[in-house]
Structure 1
Amino acid sequence: METDPVPGSPTRPNLRLQATTFPGYPASSLSPSFKLDEGYSDDTRSQPDKELMPENVMMLPDWVLSQSESDRAELAYSLLRSLSTPALVAVVDRLNPLLHMDPVVKLPPELTSEIFSYLDPRTLLTASLASRSWRARILDSGLWRLLYINEGWKVDMRAIRNFEQEHAEAISPLTRRARPQYSETDLGEPKLKKRVPPTWLASRSNGGDITAEANGLGSLGPDNEGDHHMTDANERRNSTSTAPSSLPQPPSFLQPPVKSSLLIQCPNGTVKVNWVHLYKQRRRLEANWHQGRFTNFQLPHPSHPEEAHSECVYAIQFEGKWLVSGSRDRTVRVWDLETKRLWYRQLVGHTKSVLCLQFDPSPEQDIIISGSSDRSVILWKFSTGKKIHQITNAHADSVLNLKFDDRYLVTCSKDRTVKIWSRQELSVMDEDYPRICKGGGASYPSYIVDLNEIAPNMLEASIANGHIKSLKPYTHLMTVAGHGAAVNAMQLLGDEVVTASGDRMIKVWNIRNGACMKTLMGHEKGIACVQFDSRRIISGSNDNTVRIYDHVSGAEVACLRGHNNLVRTVQAGFGDPPGADEALRLEAQEVENDFWKAQQAGVPVDLGPRALRRAGHYSNTAGSRDPRNISALGAKIPPGGGGSSWARIVSGSYDESILIWHKDRDGAWSIGHRLRQADAAANAARANLSEAARAAVSAQAQQLQAAQTLLALPTGNGTAAAAVPVPAPAPAQAVEEMQDQETNDESPPSHNANPTSDPTGAQETTVVHDGHHPQPGPANAPNPVAANANPPNPQQLAAPNPQTVLPPHRQAQPPSSRVFKVQFDSRKIICASVDPRIVGWDFACEDEEILEACPFFQGL
């Protein structure tokens, strides 16, 4: 460096730099401070970074700023080399905020929420340990609400809004003055060094990070802890050990579980539901389903056996805290699921068995509709049980099933027809007025006007003159005939009605004109039950299978084999996330592409089932994607029907079992758990007994089992051993009387429930036509005490008669537990069977946190 004097001017140093090349910095000459705007900038610092520059930093002279970046870097390096070690550490400490950029702080909350939504919950919880800013964004309630919905779980938004309104706090002026300006959410945590200048704080407070406020964490004040700086996980782990318990903690699916509140308190006094907590509790509930953890209960409560139906229960439906049941004893009963007791008296009006029902407890509807073997349909007021209307002779034979919505009531019958009835007053100008379709299977009453054959001006004149009158509520609109056997089940959804019949066919009808839109075949025997969810049709049959069909193409996409008798009832929940149609279509197309590729490669995929079995391959049609297992092409849903990993199907059968089907890792359906109605009734009754009563039940069961073993042993002369005294739950005479009653029903079945004599299947038309089937034992007789049977009533245990002895051929047999109806929601399964007791499986397992969140959960 040299100093050259300049005449007429003050002396100043002239800096001359040698052309030196350093690694990472290209050699360059001096460049002017002004550059042509070419649409980009070499300055990699963003505007917020520039604002981080403190005001007390020394301003550099212009001649330094005019140098190239590489020259300035070399100058800075030379200056740093001249500093002492403490001064160098201070400079590095001041440079840390510039060198470590936290994207969560830089990006808007909407973008970070979208990014985080692609991560699984476990990864999110791990990432939340990075820093306070990460924790605030990851624990955002809106993010976990999106994750909840994307899992395919449904939620009752009306219940959530009502819950928030009930718990909202009205902030008074005194409370508002007493509240500090800023909520110190991190009070008590170790403080880090201050690295954020006031200018940056001002800009951040103006911009606002509203994520914390959305979580109820309060307004963010001066960030003295330096949330913008990413800390190490070990440091965070040490600091959180001193945090107060009031701080919101991330949910963890590891043990021990982290406690969390269902509500979040906002600074303005309002409360919001904590979706992080809801997600966690729903995940725990689903884990109970998969692992088979449950408790049993029964209706009525074991302490009140007098409230039970006197005969078998054919129909049930539950919603919220209410359950309605219909029985062979000709009554309809309303139960409170919280108390396991009758809500009010039994509803009497039918003269024969109640076979089907549906109810809506909402104040807008407040109705129960039931159908019976007496061919009638009765409407009851749900809140009071008062009969409000009756459709006498609704069909020519037993009413086997019914469904209704706001517009129509649809009934199906053993007389092979389906009928549509209005629920509101209808005029010919209404959209829901039936449109006559000629050439189909629908017939219409004479008072239904064919709008296609009358001119609009004539129609208006006829209405004005009173020649065409409005139809009263529950007026018959049309009759649909097309099945060749009894219509055992049906489902109403939108403008489509899906029916299942003993003729082995499923039909889809248009409810507005009665036209048959498609017919599905595949079952080998009569069909007993059906469900429709707009994408799939699920059915259970007398061929012991549950089958899944694609609604659009009619292709069979799965056949579930696990029962060994008639599948009487089925319900499915697939857990489709929002907008699943396109994803399902692409998934199905991928399976078909694999099929064609396998065929081109010479794999025997297009052979029939018998040829594949001869080749050593046993086809798995429960949803397998193996090209050799594909039985239909052109479906809009993949094999198995698609759905989320939480999907499940619950089916009940005459084999006295209930199967819970889950998806395995390959997406195929497999039996997760097998439940038995008799076991549930025994567990529910045993849970209500005292310790002494339980010991008596166990002793009686062991005694009876030992006696039966001795009776089966041969003696020296080849005869059976003599009878030993064993407790008998009921006299033989009572058993015979009940058997006679079962046989002499008011409308006995015309044939067995599982016919084999007719190869054409015509005799399967009444598979479940009336619900009446001769049983090997009485429906309402006391249960015998056996090792695998229900325990006796506590009143029976009070005074047992150990001297009663029955011959082997007169021993009372346990009543059949044939399952007639099952229904499940997010929390429980409830079953109706030959046993007059209604039993249930509660997967909440009496967990307080799950029970608190369950009112907001809905099914899949």
Structure 2
Amino acid sequence: MKAKSTEFISPRSERFKNRQLRQELADLSKQASDTSLISCNDIDIKLECPTTPCCISTPILSPCIKPARSKRRDTCRGTDTPSQLGRAKKRREDKRTFIPVIEAKTELVVTREEIKIIPEVEDWVRSFEQFSNSKQSLALSMLVPRCQPVRILELVELINPQLCRDFITNLPRELSLKILSYLAPEDLLIISLTSRQWYIMCSDLLLWKNKCNYLSQYEAITDSNALRKVISSTSKLSSHFGPQNKFKQLFLAKKSIQNNWRNSDKPPKILKGHDDSVITCLQVKKDLIVSGSDDNTLKLWSISSLKCVHILNGHTGGVWCSEFDGSIVVSGSTDRNLRVWDARNGNCVHVLEGHTSTVRCVSLCGNTVVSGSRDSSIRIWNVKSGKCVHVLNGHTAAVRCVKYNGEFVVSGGYDWTVKVWSPKSAECLHTLQGHANRVYSLEFDGEHIISGSLDTIIKVWDVRTGNLLHDLVGHRSLTSSMSLRDKILVSGNADSTVKIWDTGRGELKLGLQGKDMHKSAVTCVQLVDPFIVTSSDDGTVKLWDLTTGEFVRNLIQLKSQGSGGVVWRIFADQKRLVAAVGSRHGTEETRLVIMDFDL
């Protein structure tokens, strides 16, 4: 239908009084009816029309354009009466075929020349640009309330695209990575799903390397089923988005294992041994477990085969302590001797004689082992030659605990003191006095000594100066077990409580209490980020959240819990938990319980 140029206007164009302008644009619209670009006085309006006829709304006029590819035969509404136009407009809006200039399917390119069409608008814009910021804000606050709702909607649609900018891909890569570095790894995984560009940016190798800054936490995961599954699942993505990010894969594997700690219901594996005796010591290295007992023996177990590999016979008294580095086992007994064993064949390599009473504690580092005895002496041995290198005398009562890191020997005794020794000169460097009762437990990170005592107080010392740094007060009985990582200390006490301390500030962070707390003395604590694992005389092993202190779940509950069932020792790393359990009254069979979370 051929429209009259003087009548070819949209309903909204009645607001404009410039009839000559309406005539000019109407003529142009007829010329552009088979194109997708209208050019008028250097004005470019790019149209992206749908498959149905539509009216493209410009700031001045709404010409009707029927796209050439449309198969529908519709009459141009330009010559309809106002009432017909109103009804047609409503039908188009109902069918969502009417697309204002601000909708997504119409891309409007507006140049500054457009404003020159109406001089008064150009003057208004120039005046607005010359306003100060405060005057511009005032002008907008006065203008918006005077606008009709349809104008407000147009403003919103015009403003939104200005606010929705992909700043991550627009910024320099270094700056974008700096911004992303402040996000938690979990958040990086979520936003990487935004787009291809965001996925590539959020998979940056250095970004994830910094997230995995505690690499020691991931050592146990480098050879895990979880990591192999992650590598397999991401191999297809890597072919599209670039090489695989090993640090990101490690993190994903760790998250999978952590989820299993929280939720896995896989039945544990059981290793029965030591009859009804007490398991006094427990170490785990890779696939091997070493358990020592008051039945005078040690046993080497294979986790993969669930079999006892070797029984270490030789001691004539109960085994009270042992150390295991993966190749040799060193054990101390009530028979006053230490024995060095070859873990590969179970043979006794050396018998270390010299102590005159029960060997109560040992610490192994390299080829040197340090032993403490109830005879109040400390001995330093070479495990290769089996010779005693030094005897450290100074304690006036039994030595209950000892730590050795290659540079210092630290010992705690029943004489209420902690001593620092030089292993080379056998000289006592510091005697740390302050406890009011026996010292039962030690932690040592090379810089700070943490000592736990029957006096209920935990003390933090500087190993080089011997100065007391902090008193950690809060327990009500003997601190029997501690676990230290960086400046976070977890302590287990005979008062049945577990506490988390900041040793740098000397402050209590959290106490693991409430209705799920242990009902009897805590026997062992293990810090496995982001969890704490605790065991008790009440026959349970519990899992706690390190950050919040909240109880997660019971990992082990003995049938005879509360009636003699005991968890004596536990070992936990990122992938597994090994617990030595039994009872004092024959109500529970002595055994090792193995829980694997690397599924």
Q: Cα 1:488–1:295, aligned 2, differ >3 Å: closer, same or farther?
A: farther
Q: Cα 1:148–1:341, aligned 2, differ >3 Å: closer, same or farther?
A: same
Q: Could you tell me which of 287, 290, 314 is aligned with 1:349?
A: 314
Q: Could you tell me which of 328, 344, 360 is aligned with 1:383?
A: 344
Q: How far apart in 2 are the matches of 1:843 and 1:351?
A: 35
Q: Is the 8 A contact 1:380 1:388 kept in 2?
A: yes
2:51 is matched with: none
2:368 is matched with: 408
Q: Is the 8 A contact 1:497 1:511 kept in 2?
A: yes
2:78 is matched with: none
Q: CA deviation at 1:335?
A: 0.9
1:154 aligns with 2:22: no
CA deviation profile, 1:34-83 (whole Å, cap 9, x unmatched): xxxxxxxxxxxxxxxxxxxxxxxxxxxxxxxxxxxxxxxxxxx99443x4
Q: Cα 1:105–1:499, aligned 2, differ >3 Å: closer, same or farther?
A: same
Q: CA deviation at 1:317?
A: 0.3
Structure 2 unpaired stretches of 5+: 1-38, 49-57, 59-105, 112-160, 490-496, 511-526, 584-588
Residues 71-470 of structure 1 mapped to structure 2, 5 A cutoff: 79-81=41-43, 83=44, 86=47, 92=109, 104-105=168-169, 112-149=176-213, 154-156=217-219, 159=222, 261=233, 274-286=246-258, 297=268, 299-300=270-271, 305=272, 307-342=273-308, 344-361=309-326, 366-391=327-352, 393-423=353-383
1:547 is matched with: 458
* SS state at 2:212 partner: helix
Q: Cα 1:163–1:841, aligned 2, differ >3 Å: closer, same or farther?
A: closer
2:570 is matched with: 822
* SS state at 1:123 partner: helix
1:837 is matched with: 590
Q: Cα 1:90–1:273, aligned 2, differ >3 Å: closer, same or farther?
A: closer
Q: Cα 1:109–1:336, aligned 2, differ >3 Å: closer, same or farther?
A: farther
CA deviation profile, 1:441-477 (whole Å, cap 9, x unmatched): xxxxxxxxxxxxxxxxxxxxxxxxxxxxxxxx33222
Q: CA deviation at 1:325?
A: 0.8
Code of the aligned partner of 1:332: L
Q: How far apart in 1 are the matches of 2:285 and 2:342?
A: 16
Q: How far apart in 2 are the matches of 1:390 and 1:537?
A: 31
Q: Could you tell me which of 639, 652, 656 is aligned with 2:507?
A: 639
Q: Is the 8 A contact 1:571 1:649 kept in 2?
A: no
Q: Cα 1:161–1:322, aligned 2, differ >3 Å: closer, same or farther?
A: closer
1:21 is matched with: none
Q: Cα 1:116–1:550, aligned 2, differ >3 Å: closer, same or farther?
A: farther
CA deviation profile, 1:783-827 (whole Å, cap 9, x unmatched): xxx7x57xxxxxxxxxxxxxxxxxxxxxxxx6x445543332223
* SS state at 2:213 partner: helix
CA deviation profile, 1:201-254 (whole Å, cap 9, x unmatched): xxxxxxxxxxxxxxxxxxxxxxxxxxxxxxxxxxxxxxxxxxxxxxx9xx9xxx
* SS state at 2:109 partner: helix
Code of the aligned partner of 1:527: V
CA deviation profile, 1:312-369 (whole Å, cap 9, x unmatched): 1111101222110111111111112234321x231111111111111222xxxx2111
Q: Cα 1:123–1:648, aligned 2, differ >3 Å: closer, same or farther?
A: closer
CA deviation profile, 1:503-541 (whole Å, cap 9, x unmatched): 233333222223334444565532333222235444444
Code of the aligned partner of 1:639: E
Q: How far apart in 2 are the matches of 1:673 and 1:558?
A: 26
Q: Is the 8 A contact 2:276 2:590 kept in 1?
A: no
Q: Cα 1:825–1:559, aligned 2, differ >3 Å: closer, same or farther?
A: farther
Q: CA deviation at 1:378?
A: 1.3
Q: Cα 1:829–1:397, aligned 2, differ >3 Å: closer, same or farther?
A: same
State the TM-score, normalized to the length of structure 2. 0.58
Q: Cα 1:621–1:368, aligned 2, differ >3 Å: closer, same or farther?
A: closer
1:478 aligns with 2:390: yes
Q: Is the 8 A contact 1:529 1:540 kept in 2?
A: yes
Q: Is the 8 A contact 1:550 1:637 kept in 2?
A: no
Structure 1 unpaired stretches of 5+: 1-76, 168-247, 252-258, 425-472, 577-583, 585-619, 626-634, 683-785, 790-813, 845-849, 852-860
Code of the aligned partner of 2:375: D
Q: Cα 1:622–1:557, aligned 2, differ >3 Å: closer, same or farther?
A: farther
- Structure with more strand by fraction: 2
Q: CA deviation at 1:133?
A: 0.8
Residues 608-627 of structure 1 mapped to structure 2, 5 A cutoff: none
* SS state at 2:197 partner: helix
CA deviation profile, 1:462-509 (whole Å, cap 9, x unmatched): xxxxxxxxxxx3322211122222111112223122222222333332
Code of the aligned partner of 1:355: W
Code of the aligned partner of 2:389: L
Q: How far apart in 1 are the matches of 2:396 and 2:500?
A: 31
Q: Is the 8 A contact 2:457 2:474 kept in 1?
A: yes
Code of the aligned partner of 2:284: F
Q: How far apart in 2 are the matches of 1:113 and 1:85?
A: 36
Q: Cα 1:156–1:349, aligned 2, differ >3 Å: closer, same or farther?
A: same
Q: CA deviation at 1:663?
A: 4.8
Q: CA deviation at 1:103?
A: 5.3
Q: Cα 1:645–1:371, aligned 2, differ >3 Å: closer, same or farther?
A: closer
Q: How far apart in 2 are the matches of 1:413 and 1:281?
A: 43
Q: How far apart in 2 are the matches of 1:833 and 1:522?
A: 35
Q: CA RMSD in A?
A: 4.8
Code of the aligned partner of 1:842: M
Q: CA deviation at 1:831?
A: 3.3
Q: CA deviation at 1:409?
A: 1.3
Q: Is the 8 A contact 2:416 2:433 kept in 1?
A: yes
Q: How far apart in 2 are the matches of 1:339 and 1:621?
A: 35
1:179 is matched with: none
When structure 1 is superposed on structure 2, of 344-353 and 819-828 the one drifting more is 819-828
Q: Is the 8 A contact 1:557 1:623 kept in 2?
A: no
Q: CA deviation at 1:286?
A: 4.0
State the TM-score, normalized to the length of structure 1. 0.42
Q: How far apart in 2 are the matches of 1:99 and 1:477?
A: 74
Q: How far apart in 2 are the matches of 1:574 and 1:294?
A: 32
Q: How far apart in 1 are the matches of 2:250 and 2:547?
A: 26
Q: Could you tell me which of 486, 497, 501 is aligned with 2:409?
A: 497
Residues 773-788 of structure 1 mapped to structure 2, 5 A cutoff: 788=561
Q: Cα 1:817–1:282, aligned 2, differ >3 Å: closer, same or farther?
A: same
Choose 1 or 2 for highest CA Rg: 2
Q: How far apart in 2 are the matches of 1:341 and 1:539?
A: 37
Code of the aligned partner of 1:504: W
Percent of matched pairs sharing the same residue: 24
* SS state at 2:233 partner: coil
1:558 is matched with: 472
Code of the aligned partner of 2:255: R
* SS state at 2:187 partner: helix
Q: Cα 1:267–1:548, aligned 2, differ >3 Å: closer, same or farther?
A: farther
